[in-house]
Amino acid sequence: MSLRKQTPSDFLKQIIGRPVVVKLNSGVDYRGVLACLDGYMNIAIEQTEEYVNGQLKNKYGDAFLRGNNDEYVNKQAHKIKNR
């Protein structure tokens, strides 16, 4: 999967449907399958698990994460940083 000269839209299309880790600046981790996201980094994740130190809560179905929460979306080696 090449990173050269992709538009953000191309990148977003590639990672939809993949397992992701979304790490918030607060230190909380969300792991699940990326259902969709938009240009504001709002995210919908399926089969989400929330990790704070240890595993705290399971969320089944969709979880919506608001953009602008200092999110890092990590799939393998790809990272998007949202300021």
Partner 1 sequence: RHGLDEIVLQPTTNTVEEPLDLIRLSLDERIYVKMRNDRELRGRLHAYDQHLNMILGDVEETVTTVEIDEETYEELYKSTKRNIPMLFVRGDGVVLVAPPLRVG
Among 15, 20, 23, 65, binds partner 1 (CB under 8 A): 65
50-55: long-range contacts at Cβ-Cβ below 8 A with a sequence spacing of 24 or more?
A: 52/27, 52/28
* Binding of partner 1 by 73 (CB under 8 A): no
In whole angstroms, what is the distance from residue 57 CA to residue 74 CA?
20
By beta-carbon proximity to partner 1, the closer residue of 19 and 44 is: 44
* Binding of partner 1 by 69 (CB under 8 A): yes
For residue 10, give the H/E element and its range: helix 8-15
Among 36, 75, 80, 82, binds partner 1 (CB under 8 A): 36
* Tokens linked to 74: 């990590």
| Residues at the contact surface with partner 1, assessed by CB under 8 A | 8-9, 12-13, 24, 26, 30, 35-40, 42-44, 48, 55-66, 68-69
